[in-house]
Amino acid sequence: MKALKQIGEFGMIGRIAKKIKCDKSVICGIGDDAAVISYTKDKYLLFTTDMLVEGVHFRRKEATFAQIGRKALAVNISDIAAMGGVPKYAVVSLGFPKGLSLRAVDEIMRGMYALAEEFGINIVGGDTVRAEKIVLCVSLAGEVKKGNLTLRSGARPGDLIFVTGTLGGSRRLKQFNFIPRVKEAQEIIKRFRPTALIDISDGLASDLQRITEQSRVGAIIFEESIPTSRGASLKKALYEGEDFELLFTISLDSARKFYTKDKFPITCIGKIVERKRGLALIDKEARVSSLKQKGFRHF
């Protein structure tokens, strides 16, 4: 019998997804940053969840307890932003070792409360269990105007590829302090009407691959155009993950009409091409190589 490591994280997700059937109220289920569910006449409900496990997503010596709690909510907010939505309601499930100090619990929740207040999120419930290590699981509901919903599956050949911010070095620089790009996503949708959108959680290469797979296209990106963080290598910018910047595609017509880099800080890093051309990187010497389809994987 095969083990999880033989099919990998996304193989496991695909295996599960094949056996799940949803009714017509589910507009988009497994396969994007959040589920999309019928809601009101002009809005969809968004629903997402993320889990943080001590030793996998964080170590106590790397961050304060408040930063750990903040990150548990922030990664979910980033998923809602990547759908073009606004976060609204959260439930929080907590797994704690019985020897954990009450001060640590209070600090974890303080970090979470502060970010919830900043983004207008109501924490409305959850669960608590004993665990060998700290486990934080947040489920977040949001809403999106129907006209603003942006999936991973809309990219088309000829579209340009953009990112917000800088990439790489996030595990050292900003994984606990990043600001979810809710406002930026709203502005991008208003200005550019993106054809596909995702947040960069597992690395630029991995998350670009998700767009190309869902959209059934290929992509070319240019090494010299990738905005790397100070001190970060190209390898880290491509594969390290946890940047939580936005990766999106827009049509060439939209780019010509609206894009002015000095007024809105986004960077064009490549273009969408036909699927048969695959995923490619063009380096500074104009050499073309296949972009390695790797990034953070749990299995």
| Mean pLDDT over the full length of the chain | 90
The separation between the first and the last C-alpha atoms of the chain, rounded to the nearest angstrom, is: 16
pLDDT tens for 265-288 read 799 999 999 999 999 999 998 888
How many CB atoms sit inside 10 A of residue 154's CB? 18
Q: Quick check: is 299 in a domain?
A: no
Model confidence at 13, pLDDT cuts 50, 70, 90, reads low
Same domain? For 46 and 155 the reply is: no
**Could you say which of 113, 147, 181 is where a domain stops?**
147
Q: Quick check: is 298 in a domain?
A: no
Q: Quick check: is 10 in a domain?
A: yes
Give the domain extent around 57.
4-147
**Could you say which of 147, 165, 186 is where a domain stops?**
147
Same domain? For 43 and 141 the reply is: yes
CATH number for position 17: 3.30.1330.10
Model confidence at 293, pLDDT cuts 50, 70, 90, reads low
pLDDT above 50 (res 24): yes
Q: Quick check: is 232 in a domain?
A: yes
Q: How much is the pTM?
A: 0.90
Q: Quick check: is 277 in a domain?
A: yes
Number of domains in the chain: 2
pLDDT tens for 40-94 read 999 999 999 999 999 888 889 889 999 999 999 999 999 999 999 999 999 999 9
Same domain? For 61 and 175 the reply is: no
pLDDT tens for 117-159 read 999 999 999 999 999 999 999 999 999 999 999 999 999 999 9
How many CB atoms sit inside 10 A of residue 280's CB? 16
Given this model, what pLDDT does residue 128 score?
95
Same domain? For 196 and 239 the reply is: yes
CATH number for position 155: 3.90.650.10
Specify the 3-state DSSP secondary structure of 137.
strand
What Å distances lie between residue 10 and 65, 73, 99, 295, 298, CA to CA?
Answer: 30, 23, 35, 12, 9
